[in-house]
Amino acid sequence: MQNVKITIQYDGTDFHGWQVQSSLRTVQGELTRVLALLDSRVVTVHGAGRTDAGVHAEGQVASFFLEREFEPRALRDAINGNLDRDVRVFDVEFADDSFNARSSAKLKTYRYHIWTGDVVSPFLRRYVHHHRGQVDVDAMRRAAAQLIGAHDFGAFTVATPEVKQTVRNLMRLDVEPRGESLLIIAAADGFLRYMVRTIVGTLMDVGRGRLSADHVSGLLATRDRADAGPTAPACGLTLVRVDY
């Protein structure tokens, strides 16, 4: 058997997230369907990040074992030939048997794109969160700096039975204005559900003056989701890359 590592891009607008769900279209579900056709059996697909409904990916990574032998380019083309055009495999390589796209990941990087102009181009609307008007970028940066490092991010997620540990090491949280775009780039060893989007919503509340920059450090201590900002819309979030 071959352990296959693939790099994928997708427009998450019309997907109900990454993870397989009964009767709903998901990225993992589409890959599982196609690989079953190619390998004549049920193939288990592991993804580096379980992106939520509406979240996009430029550098998602997945891995799976195949019994049938393929050349990398032939496998890429065979998978893409059976997928809709909003998801594409860009790279295929064979990995050591111990490699797993999720558990082997060392760093995941997400980008959140906010559009602050009065009008959003129809070519951007599926990939940005529209917030008209300026925000206090310096205050947002001061708040973001307090979140860097290994912390309990319980205030920035939702409680789920399967997640017992809410400590994550956030290594990067940049706030970058670029014309009418405001980019928030986050990199960590792992992320909790809605974590990036809740951080973004909290930083935006700081930028709008609804929360103080110092309020953010208190959230790490209280772990109270009710004290954090809203969960930013999924459309602005993209999984940029996964490092191993």
Contact 223/212 with Cβ under 8 angstroms? no
Q: What stretches in the chain show pLDDT beneath 70? A: 161
Q: What is the pLDDT of residue 159?
A: 76
Give the DSSP letter of residue 130.
E
Contact 237/195 with Cβ under 8 angstroms? no
Q: What is the pLDDT of residue 161?
A: 66
> Does the predicted model carry a pTM greater than 0.85?
yes
pLDDT digit string, tens, across residues 123-170:
999 999 999 988 999 999 999 999 999 999 999 998 776 777 999 999
Residues recognised as catalytic: 52
Residues 6 or more apart whose CB falls under 8 angstroms from that of 43 comprise: 32, 35, 36, 64, 65, 66
Q: What is the pLDDT of residue 160?
A: 74
